[in-house]
Amino acid sequence: MDSGIVQTIYDLKEYLKGVFADNQPEITRNDTSFVAQKRAKAFELFIKTGFPHAALERWRGTDLSRALNHEYHSLTEPPSADLDIDKIFKCDVPHFETQLVTQLNGWYADRNNLVQVFPNGLVICSLATAFTKYPQLIEAHYGKYADDNAEGLTALNTAMSQDGIFIYVPDNVTVEQNIQMVNITDFKQNLFLNTRNLVILGENSHLRLVQCDDSINHDVTFINTVTEVKIGRNSTLDHYKLQNKDDHTTLINSMFFHQDEGSSLSTNAISLNGGLIRNLSHVTMSGSHSSSEIYGLYLMDRYQHVDNQVYINHAAPECESRELFKGVLDDHASGVFNGHIKVHRDAQKTNAFQTNRNILLSDKASIDTKPFLEIYADDVKCSHGATIGQLDAEALFYIRSRGISQSNAKILLMYAFAAEVINKISIPELRQRMDDMVKKRLRGELSQCEQCVLNCSTHEHQKAEFKIDLSKI
């Protein structure tokens, strides 16, 4: 690419156009007229907008051209109903009690049990099933928070996604168990996936949601996920996004959160591995007295690329948002942080704080960080700060002067750097596991796991003695 040799550019857009035209009966099989209308409109938008490119300001730092230049396959049929998901995936985090809901290649995996309704009214089901089973909820929320006009990939998702996970928490329900959404890709050819999720919390409801992205195969995969989340009045959502994909995977993860009055959101994206990861957290605070915490940690090396886009839309008064993103980049890894805070004219008494800190371990690693505050109200407290640096020489010397080797001193400092984000995880078992994984990642012992992002498969085999033993004694 850099040599000036003209490469054959594979036209993915043309391919997807073909898939869309040739598979209408399959693609629209579960659509209500409401969904079908959205789909048709979104497809037109995608054809008009196309894939993002570097000339767009918000894509300036992330070049998708290489990722798009593959022959992909798009699946329009669900996996077999005989599929035994337990054989493919098992989460082994000790004492981590979760209600597991799995997606395989974008499809709701448990084909024999597409709807689960719990005694407290909690619904977990296939999104395709929800289209017809819960039309009122779909019409009230589906496609309402994700903006197809703003982003070609979002439009593509609305046009072509056929399934995903639908979660509904009715009013006044506290979901005691953690819900763990696991998105597995396992296919023998290059896959292009559009998966779509919708999570709705009613009023005074509480949910903890863990989203894991895993791959089993090692083929080239492009995942374009859109998740819309509605957090009703006085409800709370504690959300985690754990990413440990292989270097052949492109993961576009767009989260659209919509918060009503008095609601609280905490979301934490932890990116340990992945060829190209782009996380969008789009948060709209539409009701007063709501709060959002948006955290992220990224540890990238080799030629990996990570892009965190945060857009916080303070549309109501007396809300608070806090952003903390930290990253360590080594080798040729590159990163982008784009933090946009918009405070509307009548969003008085807004508090908005944003921090992005980066450590670059090599002179080839790079980070492009850009805070952007757009403030139309006059009674607000907003701050932003971005730092890029190396490991602190004084701190390294301090640790080494106690007899700790330079390499371990570096790991310790990186761990200390990352710990601030890890410590925000409020589920103790998850925090412990992420803590372990971060240590292993920093020691270079974390391979991309065979199954789950949480399934540290090397754990048992190697009994890796963590020389810097930071575990509790």
Partner 1 sequence: MLSIRNLRVSINGKEILKGIDLEVKAGEVHAIMGPNGTGKSTLAYVIAGREGYDITEGEIIFKGRNIMDLSAEERACEGLFLGFQYPVEIPGVSITNFLRTAINEQRKYRGLDPVPATEFLARMEEKKKLLELQEKLASRSVNEGFSGGEKKKNEIFQMAMLEPSLAILDETDSGLDIDALRIVATGVNKLRRPDNATVVITHYQRLLEYIVPDVVHVLFDGRIVKSGGKELALQLEEKGYEWIRNES
Residue ranges in contact with partner 1 by CB under 8 A: 392-395, 397-406, 408-409, 412-413, 415-420, 422-423, 467-473
| Angle between helical axes of 406-422 and 393-400 (0-180°, round to 10) | 120
Structure tokens at 56: 């767009």
Name which of 306 and 399 has its Cβ closer to partner 1. 399
Tell me how many degrees the CA angle 401-406-410 measures, rounded to the nearest 5: 105
Closest distance between partner 1 and the C-beta of residue 224, in Å?
35
In contact, 162 and 274? CB cutoff 8 Å: no
How many CB atoms are closer than 10 A to CB 288?
18
Name which of 107 and 417 has its Cβ closer to partner 1. 417
Closest distance between partner 1 and the C-beta of residue 409, in Å?
8
At residue 76, the 3 state secondary structure works out as: coil
Closest distance between partner 1 and the C-beta of residue 365, in Å?
22
Residue type, position 356, single letter: N
DSSP 325-373: EEEEE-TT-EEEEEEEEEE-TT-TTEEEEEEEEEEE-STT-EEEEEEEE
Name which of 65 and 406 has its Cβ closer to partner 1. 406
Give the integer Cα–Cα distance in Å for 238 and 369.
26
Name which of 247 and 420 has its Cβ closer to partner 1. 420
Name which of 35 and 328 has its Cβ closer to partner 1. 328
Closest distance between partner 1 and the C-beta of residue 445, in Å?
17
Closest distance between partner 1 and the C-beta of residue 146, in Å?
36
Tell me how many degrees the CA angle 61-308-217 measures, rounded to the nearest 5: 95
Name which of 226 and 399 has its Cβ closer to partner 1. 399
How far, CA to CA in Å, does 251 sit from each of 84, 159, 374?
A: 25, 18, 28
Residue 389 makes CB contacts below 8 A (sequence gap 6+) with 357, 358, 359, 360
Which secondary structure element, helix H or strand E, spans residue 230, and what is its range? Answer: strand 221-231
Name which of 189 and 423 has its Cβ closer to partner 1. 423
Nearest Cα residue to 384 out of 335, 426, 342, 327: 342
Closest distance between partner 1 and the C-beta of residue 404, in Å?
5
Name which of 2 and 465 has its Cβ closer to partner 1. 465
In contact, 420 and 228? CB cutoff 8 Å: no
Closest distance between partner 1 and the C-beta of residue 392, in Å?
7
Phi, psi of 350 (to 5 degrees): -80, 140
Closest distance between partner 1 and the C-beta of residue 268, in Å?
16
In contact, 313 and 285? CB cutoff 8 Å: yes
Which residue has tokens 């492109």?
250
For residues 386-398, one letter each, b for 16 or more C-beta atoms within 10 angstroms of the residue's C-beta and e for the rest, the string is bebeebeeeebee
In contact, 310 and 268? CB cutoff 8 Å: no
Name which of 65 and 423 has its Cβ closer to partner 1. 423
Closest distance between partner 1 and the C-beta of residue 157, in Å?
37
Closest distance between partner 1 and the C-beta of residue 23, in Å?
51
Q: Which residues pair with 249 in a beta bridge?
A: 221
Name which of 423 and 462 has its Cβ closer to partner 1. 423
